A and B are shown apart, each in its own frame.
Chain A
Amino acid sequence: MTGKRTGGAAVSRRPLRRRLGVIQHDDWPVHHAVGVARLDSVSDDALVAGMAMRDGDAAAAFVRRFERRVFGLAVHVTGQRSLADDIAQVAFTRAWAAASTYDGRRGSVANWLLTITRNAAIDAVRARRLYPVDDERLGRLVDATMRGDGLAGDRTADAAITNADAAAVLERLRALPIEQARAVVLAVLGGCTGEEIAERDGLALGTVKGRIRLGLRRLRTDLASWTEDTER
């Protein structure tokens, strides 16, 4: 990919550490001719730091790393591939614009990016008054999520860590009562409102919101105890 980029600047031959200048990362390898392929092995945080300094190679590596999950989430929420394509692009451009505000102490890069994606997708769905009531699609989403398809998501250098975290989340989700797990997946990944889930499943709104609340809460409580257990 080196030397061929749409809308970007010429590929620099300066060492990346120099180009980033003000940002130091101990895990950042020093290369003298950095191409996108080389960046595939740096950490997620380092790529965001590169984007904060407006490095096009870092952006290209970042998009390649996360495109499948960002596009996936946009498809799950909107149910439309063409709209999802646009939303996923918007999400990446927002991440690029806001890269300097990312703080690794507050959550993972994947989380930050997927939250941006989810917000963009929900805004788009609401603006277009689309309602994600495609039963079959949402059913497939719940099945795929519970099956653990998301564990093989990204081409990320931090895949081992990401997968350990994601596997723990999946384990907790599977441990929930199935109706709570379904409500959580439809609400978070499917972008459904409580009203939509209630209508879809023929339930009272209060019941649905209670399931989401209990499910998310228990997911979190159990995760906290899981972390303590493994650290002991």
Chain B
Amino acid sequence: MTDHPEGDLVDLALGHLAADRQSAVLEHVDSCPSCAELLRQLVAGADDVLTITPPVDPPAGFVDRVLGRLDPPPTAALPAGRAVRWGRAASVAAVLAVGGGVAVATLAPHRLEPQWSAGPTTAARSQTADLRTKTARTVGSAAFRSSEGRTTVSIDVLPGAPAPWYSCRTRLADGTTVELGSWSPGTTTPWTVTLPTTSDPRSIELIAPSGATWAAATFH
């Protein structure tokens, strides 16, 4: 036996690890590159297998039943001259779970709430800032570009990030916080997310599975 919790990693990757074991295992993963790599491979392998799920025909009327319970309901066409902005209240756990990462977190109920914001379109704005750890070590960069009600946020991280994935969060000038999803080292960088928002990002944070902020970029 080694000190590496390989059996627990299998359970974690498959979504079966008991809640009371998760934090201990994730803490180990945070500090152990070989377990982080194994977990990444297990999750990726499981993801691959999902793509060959044998299909089964659902009961009649399935599509209509799904459409009938969409929350929020679909919107009608947008009124002319207005842009819709989505205020968000998603939890990190929810984003981690649906972001395709490890099935550690239960999907907390969350909803997107539309807020109407009239607004003339403005010129494009963009900024880039270093991503730094608490000890001021530069580990990459983050950038955003806003134009016409859409903001593209990208992060570019140098090799060597210790955790298997990070949830990425941005604080906007309007005071809201938006979960951008999760990013895993080794996947394509720069990693880009587009938000339907007219508010500029003020900061971008990468949060380790343990919940601690690993690195952050601040825009001025």
Contact = CB atoms under 8 A, between A and B. Distances in A.
Contact of A103 (B9, B46, B148, B191): B191
Nearest to B75: A54
A101 B95 contact: yes
B interface secondary structure, majority: mixed
A12 B88 CA distance: 25
Contact of B55 (A7, A68, A173, A209): A68
Contacts of B45: 184, 215-217, 219-220
A220 B41 CA distance: 6
Interface string A66-95: 011101110110000100010011001111
Interface string A1-18: 000011111101110000
A interface secondary structure, majority: helix
B73 interface: yes
B16 interface: yes
Q: Pick from B51, B103, B191 the residue with the most CB of A within 10 Å.
A: B51
A97 B71 contact: yes
Interface of A: 5-10, 12-14, 19, 21-23, 52-56, 59-60, 63-64, 67-69, 71-73, 75-76, 81, 85, 88-89, 92-98, 100-103, 105-108, 110-112, 114-116, 118-120, 122-123, 141, 144-145, 148-154, 162, 165-166, 169-170, 172-173, 184-185, 187-189, 193-194, 205-206, 209, 212-213, 215-217, 219-221, 223
B14 A59 contact: no
A118 to B, nearest CB: 7
A92 B191 CA distance: 25
A205 B6 CA distance: 13
A184 B42 contact: no
A219 B194 CA distance: 32
Interface residues of B, number: 80
Contacts of B49: 169, 173, 184-185, 188-189, 216, 219
A9 B110 CA distance: 22
A14 B80 CA distance: 11
15 contacts: A6-B64, A7-B68, A7-B69, A12-B77, A52-B196, A73-B53, A101-B90, A106-B182, A115-B98, A119-B106, A150-B52, A188-B49, A193-B14, A193-B16, A209-B11
Given A60-B67, A106-B187, A169-B52, A216 B13 contact: yes
Given A98-B94, A101-B179, A189 B53 contact: yes
B97 A119 contact: yes
Q: Pick from A7, A108, A205 the residue with the most CB of B within 10 Å.
A: A7
A21 B51 contact: no
A94 B100 CA distance: 13
B65 interface: yes
B168 to A, nearest CB: 9
B112 interface: yes
Contact of B46 (A56, A72, A150, A216): A216
A93 B69 contact: yes
A231 B161 CA distance: 27
B7 interface: yes
B184 interface: yes
B118 to A, nearest CB: 14
Contacts of B112: 97, 100
B73 A114 contact: no
Contacts of B136: none
B181 A154 contact: no
A60 B41 contact: no
A154 B47 CA distance: 17
A221 to B, nearest CB: 7
Nearest to B149: A22
A23 B187 CA distance: 23
B56 to A, nearest CB: 4
Given A10-B76, A53-B84, A63 B67 contact: yes
